[in-house]
Each structure stands twice: as structure tokens, then as C-alpha cells.
Amino acid sequence: MSDMTLTKARIHAGVWEGVLDVGSMLDLPDLEVSHLAKPIGGMTIEEDPDHRGNYLVRVPIPVEVLNDGVQTFVISDTETGDRLAHFSIVTGQPVGDDIVAEMDLLRAELDMLKRAFRKHCLETM
């Protein structure tokens, strides 16, 4: 596990924004955003001109995935499978939002673990 951290800054104009601190890593990691275990495109990562070793991460939120309920997005390192951050968007009637968001996050994490386990099994064969 690395000392890399991804901290949410804000959601503005339909774009999730965060700051990636790569710590002592020399190379920029390959990150992936997923929703319901499917990759979401459009993420940009650019070096922060004011802070060496930090990168500005922007994830446009696709309008086609916004439906009633809780939509959870997971940002992870594709090489290690480590989950760096997540964010949830709640739309429609609020019905126990906290538990629904937590269940959606658990579902996303379970999907990530299944992918990692399958990849591990294929590598050991």
C-alpha cells in the first residue's frame, strides 16, 4: 500500500474535484472511476502548479447515470485495486439516505473485490 491520498475538494458544475497527493511515488498512478462496477470516462489529472507532488483530479459526472436513488462513484488505483475515494449523489425522494448510500458503497466495493479476486485467480493459473 502506498502513501498516496486523494482528497475531495468539491463538486462544482457537475464535476467532482479532488487533490491527489502521490507522496514519495515517482510515477503518476493510473486511476479509474467506476459506477456500478463499470468504468466511467472523462477523468482528467493535471499537476498542481502551486504544489509539487500534488495533482488536480476532475471527474465529470455523466448525466445518463443520474436516476432516482443513490449513485456511488468509486475512484481506485487500477494497478493495486486500492480504493482512493468515493462520492455519492442522491436524487429523488429521500428514504433512509444514509443506509442506502452505505449499501451502494458496499456493493461497489464488493464488485471491486470480485474483479481483483478474478484477476488474481487468472494470474496464479
For residues 21-30, give the mean pLDDT: 81
Residue 108 or 1, more confident = 108
pLDDT (tens digit per residue) in 96-118: 667 777 888 888 889 889 988 98
Q: Is the pLDDT confidence value at 63 over 90?
A: yes
Residue ranges and CATH numbers for the domains of the chain are: 5-124 (2.60.40)
How far is the C-alpha of 105 from the C-alpha of 80, rounded, in Å? Answer: 19
Q: Is the pLDDT confidence value at 62 over 50?
A: yes
Predicted confidence at residue 2, as pLDDT, reads: 60
Contacts of residue 80, defined as CB under 8 A and 6 or more positions apart, other chains included, come to 1, 2
Predicted confidence at residue 39, as pLDDT, reads: 93
* Average of per-residue pLDDT values in the chain: 87
How far is the C-alpha of 56 from the C-alpha of 41, rounded, in Å? Answer: 16
